[in-house]
Structure 1
Amino acid sequence: MSDLGNLYKSLSLEIAAVARYREHRDRTSDPVFFALFEGLMRNEQGHEEELIANIRRLGGDESEASNVEAPDLPTMIYEGRQIFGQKTNLAMLRADLAFEADATKLYHEFAGQAEDEQVKALFKELSRAERGHVNGLTHVIRAVEEGSHEVKFFCPVCGWPVDFGASPSAGAESRCKMCGVLFALDEEDGDFKLVRK
């Protein structure tokens, strides 16, 4: 495929990445995961900008990316070890890990195919960035699976994080440090939920 063809495919992939991280950010109640998904989304938006700049530099039209079929990758993967209270968060993280691993390989292949030196450098940098995402997501998933991830929720009263510590169980209580409201953890369909006491 030509450099422009690979840039269009990559832009389509990055648009899908931004959408998936926005969706995941909006689904989680955990401030740590919220920040992770927000950070990944912003990084992927930067990738979009770099791809568009290179498409334009080569005389292409970024709207052509909409003609490229977006990748059909799951946004949730429920396989693997299930951790009490973290079903949805883990499903999102595992799907994102698979997505980023695929992107790493794809960009590595595109770097090898690139004829334009700037495009080659861009694909190498994108592959490196996606590898960083793989490493970070692997670390976060491991922390959840090993029980070292501290369970937190945004306080629905004031917005401050309410911390329940690592490996809490249903019924655990915590008071918001800013507004003083007491909350407990409950469980519903494999996920923790916050209940005001």
Structure 2
Amino acid sequence: MIPKCPQTPVIQGGLLAIAAMTLHCGIGTPDSGDRFGNGNKEFGNVGEILKSAMPSQHWQGSASNAYTAQDVKQQDRSQLMAQADSIIESVVKKQAGQVTNTRTVLDACSVALGIMVAPAMAAYPLVPAGPAISMSIQIGAVAGSVPIAMAAMTKLGIEAAMNGLEVAKATGMYNRVSTTAR
């Protein structure tokens, strides 16, 4: 992907920088969050099962009342876990799209920069100004692509921070469940 060409060191440096940014975006398909979606559904099912397990009019008294109180608490916990899983699913899905979009921008920048190797190399042997023309092409190519890649990475970093706030909200919900489950 990164051509080895001593005549285009500036382009090579730009391609290496973009390759490093691409590695920061991970390898493979980003997680879709569907496992948290499955958890959300399962906690919803648990809530429905708990509702159906409420004492009937045939079971009355203090034991029935204590059971009902615990059953309601479990339903609330189940609902809170389902909501937290839903938030996490949404965040993971959103982050996957953000990573995919960033990778697309980085790929386009890398291709655009790679395309400029041929003109820079073609200009290099021209006498007497060939090396200067080649360097100008390289600098222009890097200046036109690396800042775009950097902006995409900065945007991804900001989006990740915003996603982190949503994850913190869900974490608080999980913590509430764990502190009340006694």
TM-score range relative to shorter protein: 0.3 to 0.5
As a proportion of its length, which structure holds more strand? 1
Indicate the structure whose relative CO is greater, using CA pairs within 8 Å and at least 6 residues apart.
2
Larger helix proportion of the pair: 2
Return the index of the structure with the highest Cα Rg: 2
TM-score by length of 1: 0.40
Task: Give the structure-2-normalised TM-score.
Answer: 0.43
